[in-house]
Structure formats: C-alpha cells, structure tokens
Structure 1
Amino acid sequence: MTSEAARALGEDLARAGGGPAAGTVSAQVVDVTDRGVNLDYRGALLLDVPCVDSYRNRRAGDWVALRPGSRPVVMWRLGTDPGDVDEESIRSLAREVTLDEQVVRAATWGTAAPAGTGWQTVQTLYLRKNTEGKVELYGQLASQSDTSPDTPPDRAPKPATITPTAYGTWRGGRPDDYADYPTQGDWTGRGNRRGGWFYGSAIAAACAGKAVASMTVKLSRRRGSGVNARRPLHLYLHGYTSPPSGQLDLGDGPEEPLSLSAGATGTATLPASWRSQLASGAAKGLAIYASGSRDYMSVSGGTITITFS
C-alpha cells in the first residue's frame, strides 16, 4: 500500500467516526490473491488486503466494504443478494453428486417372495458396468404390468485436471537458471525471457476418444516481478513434452486472455483452435513471452482443466 493511499484511508476513517459499520469505505476488487484481494481505492492499488471469512466467491470487479486503518480489512461484498446464483450452483453440484452414486437404491435377495406391492417377476436378469464403473441392471420380464422408467441419459465424461510435470524459463536461446518460475519480458536489460509449462503427453491422452468442450489454465502472478499493476500475459503454444536443452521455440500466439496484478490468481479460457491442437497432440504445452519491461512478470501454476461434451 502506498503512503498516499494509507493517508487517504486514515482521512476517511477520521471523517466517518462511529462504530465499525460507520467506519467503512467502498473499494473495487482488482484481483483475487492467495492472501486476500488486490483493491482499487481512489485510483491506488492496495495489495493483498485480507478478507473476513464470510466474503466468499471473491471475484475481480466486486465492490466491497473496506474497514480502513493501518491494516485494512474487507468486511463484505456490496450489491444484490447472491442467493439465486448460489442456489443454481448448489443444485448443479447436488446433481453431480447424485449421478456419482449408484442408480440402484437397494439390492436384496432371499428364498421368499419380496414384501410389498409393485414387484414384477424377472425371467432373465442382465447387469453391466458402464464406463464410469456404475452398475446398470435390466430385467427381461415374462409379462409386464407396469411401464419401465426411462434410461437415464449418458452424461459427459468428468472434467480432467492436468498439472505440469515441469516448467522453466529461457533467455538467449538456452535455459535461464536465474529464474525460478516461467517469466516473460526483460526487467534488467539482459534480454527477453520466455517461460513454458510441460505436460508430457497427458493432455492428448486425457482427450483421446472424447469431444472437448473447453480448456482453461489457472495461473498466478508472482509478487516482486515487474510493476504491481495489472499486466497481460502473452500466451503461446509450444510442441515440447519436456523442457528443451536449447531454445524454447514458440508456436501459435500470442493470445492475451488474462491480465493479473501482483500476487493475483486467474483462470484463462484457451481459444478453440488451441484446444484442438492440444487435444490432438499437435501442440504439447503452453508458454509466455513478452518484449521489454512493461509486461515483465513471473508466473506460477499452469494447471489445465478440460471439460467434455
């Protein structure tokens, strides 16, 4: 936090007076970090402001109530009631949990006929295990006294999460031992850096025989690399299953699907043409590259999530 921003917060608190609710000011979330949020307060960027636990589902663009002071804290989100959105996500999650369970409520047997009504005599019983490992039963009847329920529709394969097996940075046509994480740009004038994440053949293997609906990558900007303000990632494809000993050649790009401030984490959706190349194995991984100091940053993460249709 800059001294000017801290001074402004102090003035707001002095003017507000009263209890904790009266001593709050409004600010907008720029990015979400692993320590809290980065905030835009009167044009100043406040980094890693902690949040109370009740502020959940944090997103860039949220307007929040900020309690000023020497250690500012985000108290709550401002705006409409998020209940409807929460209900939709809860219902979706509940449906997924239900589908994960066996479709047969109970399986019992004995030498006597079953108690209760509605039972039908099975001439031949068939069973199988589907691709998800769930049991399906089919009873062939001698005569039918009630209609059969509809067969539940097949659902899309579960999403696949692919984590990098390696990562690194290259400068001057060779690996850069002075960079701990993938880095783009040039901060010191010693040459532009490029970084890459490597997945072996795991991406293509996860997509084999499936229709890919989307691919996203989760990335986190390292603190202390470049300016604190939001800067875009310049994203490329590459064709390596593991880090090369020479230059990391870049494939298609650049795309700029994500901008991050210092310490922020975000998720970028990859273009349709990129997911096709990654799914087929024509491309193997992701890289970043920029020229000069403006967009210089170091980046960690690189986990790819693939959804199917």
Structure 2
Amino acid sequence: MGVFLCAMAAGQSMAFLGDVDAAKAAAHDVFELLEAETSIGISDSSSSKGQATQDGQGMRIKFDNISFTYPHRKGVKVLDGLTFEVEAGQTVALVGPSGGGKSTVFALLQRFYDPTEGEILVDEPAARLTEAGLVPWRKHIGFVSQEPVLFDMSLEENVRYGAPPVSSAELQEACSRAGMDDFAGSKVAWDAQLGPRGGLLSGGQKQRVAIARALVRRPRLVMLDEATSALDSASEATVQKAIDSFITARTAALDKPTILIIAHRLSTVQKADKILVISGGKLVESGTHAQLLSERGVYYGLYMKGAS
C-alpha cells in the first residue's frame, strides 16, 4: 500500500515539473534584474546639484545636440542631434509621428537613461542634468501618464501618495486646479475607498486625480504623456478643460511650472506657447499652432489628418 501511495504521489508531482521549470526561469530573471547595476548615479537629498531654489517655479531646459541609443538596440539612433530650448514657465508640446522620439525625451528628462551624445542643461546658470542628484531631481517632476496608477485607498490618500507633507488647504488647491471639484467636494468623497486600481472612478476622474497628485508636489516641471489619449470623447473634453484651466490659472498663481505635453491629438495642444515637431529623432519644425499651420509642413499634415 505504501509503495502504491508513493507511486501515486510521484506521478502527480510529474504534472508540476513544467511549472517548476517556468518558476525557476522567472526567478532567474527577477534576481538578474535585482542584481543589475545602473549607469545612472543615484544621490540622496544631500546633493546640491539639481535642487530648486523655490518649489513650483518653472525651469529652463535645453537639449544640446542630443543623440540616444537604447542599450538593447545599439544600432538604432532614437534621437539624432536633437536640439531645442524651453524657457522657464512655458507650456511646450511635443508632437510628431509615432516612434519619432517624443517618449524618449521624457525618459531622458526623468533620467531613466542618460544621453549617448550631447548635453541636457537645466536652469540658469545652466547645469548638466547628468550631474544632478537623481532623488532631488525627480522631486521636482510631476508626471502624468495615459494610464494613471491608483490604489484601493481613499481619494485623499491617492492624491497625497508620494508627495511631501502638505496642508489640507494645499491639497484642496491642487485638486481644484486639477478640476476635481465636481466629485471631490465633500468629506464623504475624500474618505471613500476607490476600489482596486481606482475602479470606482471613471477614466476622466482617474486622470484628474493623477493631475492633482502631480500638482500637490509643487513641481517645477510637469510632464503630461498623452494624458487624454485613453479616454472617450466626453472624458477627454473634461480632462482637457482641467488642463487648459490649470495652464491659464498659472499666470495669476504663485506656482508657474514648466509644462511639457506629448500629444497625438493636436486639438489638445493648440494653446501651447510652443510646439516642437519631432520626427526621426530630429526637430523638424518649431513654432505656435498658427505659425506651423501657415507653413503647411509636417505639423500641417498631421493636423489635417486628425481633422479629417
């Protein structure tokens, strides 16, 4: 009987050998990732470089002949001699064909990578971004992606997540600037759990929470990465109205961060101070919406294609 039971157990265990092999391979990949060394220097808040003189005030950014190749695609130049300047407090949109290098610009500004060639300079006097302490630098950035990450916590906890301690008044101000007044106007709303991944909120509401989370940090640089692209037309209009109101309100507010926007829908960037058209890793056009339309170049073609 004992031999029979052992044989049965051995037979059943054979069915799991494939899972064991898969788990071993996955564990190898995880440990390889954990042990990988980054070329990006990580500094704590004691670093003097890359720190703001005043939170909320915009920064000047200059890409000086930037070229970049991803480590896993060494033969492909994603950026090729890209040069542009953004003045402190400006709202600048990055547009162009997919794969042109717009998201790579954002990745370099967040220092997920450093440029292969050229320099990124920030502020006056100009300082090399590669010399900035990684931790203090990222504290100056408010980033909003097209798919915000929310948690099964209260609305207030989600907005405060990752931010330095702020007063209730500062929190309310950030939420108001993000256009949340229509669904965050009571204590009941503030204390309500949002469900897994914020599932009790609509797509437009989630995006406005993400914008408020970025603003409550009083960032010097706000980066909006296709913040409305995953929304339906009604939600997109609501979020775009919040973004437009925030941009307009900065002229009368203490905080006037620099704003960079990546957008495929060109109707969302018409109010930008400057539009940079990036294609093939190069800057091919630059100007306001009206100027670029009058030139009838790449931007004009993209705009007419989206309008048709």
TM-score range, shorter chain: under 0.3
TM-score, normalised via structure 1 length: 0.25
Which of the pair has more CA radius of gyration? 1
> Which structure has the higher relative contact order (CA within 8 Å, separation 6+)?
2
- Give the structure with the larger strand fraction: 1
Instruction: Return the structure number with greater helix share.
Output: 2
